[in-house]
Structure 1
Amino acid sequence: MRRLAQAAAVVTRLRLDELMSAWVGGRDSPMQIGLLCVFDAEPFRRADGLVDLAGVRAALALRASRVPGLHRRVVWTRPGEGRPFWAEDPAFAPPDLVEVTTLPPGTDLPSWAASRAATPLPPDRPLWRADVVGGLPGDRVAVLLVVSHVLADGAGGIALLGSLLDQDPAAAAPVVPPAPAAPLPSHRQLLRERLHEIADAARRRGRRGRRDRRGAGGPRAGVHGLTEIRAALAEFAGPEPVTSLPRQVGPGRRLGVVHVPLPELLRTGHALGVTVNDLVLAAVAAGLREYLTARDEGVPGPVLRASVPATTGHADRQVGRMLVVGLPVGEPDTARRLAVIHHATTQGKARLRAADADVTDLRLPVPVARPLLCWARRFGSRRLTLSVTDVTGPSAPLWLAGARLRAAAPIAPLSAGVPLTVAALSYAGEVVLTINASDSLTDLDLLTEATARGVAALRELAGVAAERPPAHAW
């Protein structure tokens, strides 16, 4: 970071991992993650028996003011000004980012939330939005939190949720006095800052070159990132099998939800010697097999590719690594299907550990990096059927002004040409697995129920007794 000569602002340029999410999103497939939260409504019950939705909105807005990451917006720069940068939003007003709506009778809450999460966020405001949703059956109120992937990935979004909510039911949200934001730098100031950055980069290259000539230098800058891109693309050799799953992604969404007690899933994984992520992939493979069979599609041996994000090991970056796992939907045996998946994930993780790099290690000018990464994304998307992600959430309950968070359902974004995203999130002893699909996909209920049966088959394979998951008024 460098302080500008004539402005109080500090320019923090977007990293490549943040820019990637802005580059690869589309009009109907913005890179935005959603989290559908269902709370007890009783603490917000009014004297007339109705839920005080405005009170929920005020409680959220008050807590948003204490989370620094929610104050920031991206300033999208002009030519010559350098990369876009983060800045405190001079017009930041949390109530403007929290909306209130009442769910129409008969509307499916998860699918409404998935469609709403795909509504693009304004680029000139802080990159998040919350919706307080009333009209739910039972003693419940919902909050949909939507965050741009530029701001946070899945794990980062859960960290934001932890900062936004309370750790204790009696906790009072601290009143944070608003601090005036510094004015945004002018075009002239940004040009001057860019010249300083170019000069600094030239000096660093000179020092690095001198070290290389003395034999103390490492590999050329950027070679690790290019190597990781080539390795990832090599896993997409050959076309993806053709199925009836739609490839066109429109603005509408449908969301299937599966609830599984976390202790049950952990015991199953321990008994079978696999990870929770392996179990999720195997359940999805079983669900897809049953779904395609029910649609009279022969599945004698196809393997459908799934992308699986993998952590980079760098706390200051978003996930920049990806496993490509072949899901053996043509395999009828549950044990063999799981074994194939476990072998693939084990080998893939070993490769990533050996590489010790990700695509964000790419060191190329933005005009070169952007088309390269966008092409790689399009190339991979044509050879994928779905993406699957698994995020560990809080193990203890969270609260909002005394209202307990009962359940949290993740909503992973769809990419253009990839018809399905599956996300699993653990929270307070439960795993919620969601299947997000374009609304052009028919029979999503069948796929959801088949995936739940896939979880049950794995539990039976391990000899783990079923626990009844709690009921939720979704």
Structure 2
Amino acid sequence: MNRLGALDASFLYLEEPTLPMHVGSVMVFEPSAEGFDYDRFVAVVGDRIAGHSRYRQRIREVPARIDNPVWVDDAHFDIGYHVRRSAIPAPGGAADLEDFIGRIMARPLDRDRPLWEAYFVEGLEGGRFAVVTKAHQAMVDGIHAVDLAQLLIDPDAVPVDERAGEPRKAPSDVRMVTDALLGSVLNPARVVRGIGSGLRDVSQTGRDLTATAGRVASTLARVGTRPAPSSPLRTTVGAARRYVMVQTDLDDYRKIRSRLTRGRYVDDVSINDVVLATITGALRAWMQTRGLPVTATTTLRVMVPLSIVDGSGDPLTDNAMAACFIDLPIGENTPSMRLHQIAFAMRQQIESTSVEGVGATSLAGIGGFAPPTLHTLGARLGSAMSRRLFNLVITNVPGPQQSLEVEGCQLIETYPVMPLGRGQGLSIGLTSYDGKVYYGLTGDRDSMADLDVLARSIDDALAELRSAPRGRA
């Protein structure tokens, strides 16, 4: 049977009503001259998922939970349920779209159906439309399924599942129990993992994660047992969400990198370092607007998933990501010094591992529109780590720097929507595409009522870096 592995199953066991474990994407399109409507969108989605059976499969629990759940074909698959038509009051601006995204991303996916949804959102100003997708972390593993946004943009870059076709009959309870028991005989270690339910399942899952999530064990060894510093982002996460989009120019980050680094230090500072320095300045300003103490030693620890695959054809799996832990120097008053401290910390992290991060050019050259899938893999890595080790997850995935389209409709903006972790009121994802850098900020609705202040602070922090004196490297 197509059984969920320990890591995939953990994303089901650890999910709570206030902590849905799905990842989303937002794509804004300029319609073609011929137009583009909901019916055509449904047809496009149906065509894209035809060769990918996971999008027509649902989760089924094994009786008595004696083994991990299995994927079974949904005999009553209804594409109209998953592909939905929505609208915001025309002419809808960014704030209207953000409010819509915050509402739909807060709702857990239906476990009795395939674990994904797509929304065709009309009413945007200028006649534009948006496509909002959400898919469970248990589903998009890079092997059996990639993110729907990637399938929509470049379906030819994703291998088709030759077994996809007519739905297969779901196994009976007797068959599922028999298969689970047979697997336990052939692999006795599964008995230990499968016994019990509830908290015992969660506890065992946590131990399985360390062994299953690729680079997690070595990362924990590097970080040690130091807990993350106290943080205003630590909060009890409720069921509602806020979402804010920020658009910046990629050329600004390049200019900052060349201005604030000289000589041999140029190669030691990456665009990703400039991004992290920008977020550091934004978090510093945001904390100050709240009246929180910011001293010279104030830091926030972020977990940054690092891509370690290139365009050589390696599959985008969990092993494509490694975790870097960086203490952002919130207390540092000088913008250029923040940048160099972050660059130095990133170099230390990378040099202490047996793998090396891949540059933006190589990542952007991966076949297909890979950023949505890489964001999901980054979220999976963050979910597999102990939350006490970091305050915030930041995923930054470089995308193609040429315009993309779907059925003649030009993709003009793309934003990731990252999930929140237990006790973490904020997550940040960003994607560079066609000369722009697009931030997606997800926050707990109650504790992050000023999420828009943090969003504006990103623009201010970027301007601060642009005008910062060169200083001494």
TM-score class normalised by the smaller sequence: 0.7 to 0.9
Q: Deviations over 1:295-344 (max 9, x none)?
A: 22220131111122234768463266432211111111112111221222
1:386 and 1:420 in contact (8 A); partners too: yes
In structure 1, what is the Cα distance between the partners aligned to 2:247 and 2:215? 38
The one-letter amino acid of 2:452's match is D
TM-score between both structures, scaled by the size of structure 2 = 0.74
Matches of 2:148 and 2:78 in 1, distance apart?
A: 18
Which amino acid in the other structure matches residue 287 of structure 1? A
1:228-307 equivalent positions in 2, closer than 5 A = 228=218, 230-231=220-221, 234-237=224-227, 240-243=229-232, 245=233, 247-266=235-254, 268-269=256-257, 272=261, 273=266, 274-300=269-295, 301-307=297-303
Q: Specify the SS of the correspondent of 1:323.
A: strand
1:77 and 2:62 correspond: yes
Name which of 113, 122, 147 aligns with 2:110: 122
Partner of 2:317 in structure 1?
A: 317
Inter-CA distance 351–20: structure 2 relative to 1 (3 Å threshold): farther
Matches within 5 A, 1:3-402: 11-43=1-33, 45=35, 52-79=37-64, 81-104=66-89, 108-152=96-140, 160-165=148-153, 179-201=165-187, 227-228=217-218, 230-231=220-221, 234-237=224-227, 240-243=229-232, 245=233, 247-266=235-254, 268-269=256-257, 272=261, 273=266, 274-300=269-295, 301-311=297-307, 315=315, 317-318=317-318, 321-353=322-354, 380-382=386-388, 384-402=390-408
RMSD: 3.8
Q: CA deviation at 1:145?
A: 0.7
**1:369 corresponds to:** none
Which residue in 1 is equivalent to 2:424? 418
Residues 246 and 200 of structure 1: is their aligned pair in 2 closer, same or farther, counting only changes over 3 Å?
closer
- CA distance 1:79–1:34, change in 2 (3 Å): same
How far apart are residue 122 of structure 1 and its match?
0.8
Name the CA distance, whole Å, in 1 between partners of 2:383 and 2:415. Answer: 26
The verdict on how the C-alpha distance between 1:151 and 1:203 changes in structure 2, with shifts beyond 3 A counting, is closer
Taking structure 1 as reference, are residues 86 and 167 closer, same or farther at Cα in structure 2, changes over 3 Å only?
A: closer
- Describe the superposition over 1:354-374 as per-residue Cα deviations: whole angstroms up to 9, x where unpaired: 799xxxxxxxxxxxxxxxxxx
Whether the 8 Å CA contact 1:228–1:355 is kept in 2: the answer is: no
For 2:387 and 2:103, locate their aligned partners in 1 and report how far apart those are by CA, in whole Å.
Answer: 21
Q: Is 2:60–2:69's contact at 8 Å kept on the other side of the alignment?
A: yes
Q: For the residues of structure 2 that align with 1:390 and 1:108, how far apart are their CA atoms?
A: 25
Q: Figure out how many residues of one structure are paired with residues of the other and give that number.
A: 406
Q: Does 1:404 align with 2:400?
A: no
Task: Name the stretch that deviates more: 95-104 or 176-185.
Answer: 176-185
SS of the aligned residue for 2:63 comes to: coil
CA offsets 1:95-130 (integer angstroms, 9 cap, x no match): 321011111467621232133122111112111100
Consecutive unaligned residues in structure 2, runs of 5 or more: 191-209, 358-381
Contact 1:17/1:318, CA 8 A, preserved across alignment: no
- Paired residues of 1:101 and 1:134 also in contact (CA < 8 A): yes
CA, structure 1 residues 235+126, in 2 after alignment: closer, same or farther (shift >3 Å)?
Answer: same
**Map of 1:470 onto structure 2:** none
8 Å contact kept, 2:26–2:417 = yes
Classify the secondary structure of the residue corresponding to 2:276: helix
What TM-score do you get using the length of structure 1 for normalisation? 0.74
Go from structure 1 to structure 2 and tell me whether the alpha carbon gap of 1:189 and 1:308 turns closer, same or farther (over 3 Å shift): same
Q: Which moved more, 1:433-442 or 1:188-197?
A: 188-197
Q: Which amino acid aligns with 1:305?
A: R
Structure-2 separation of matches of 1:311 and 1:125? 31
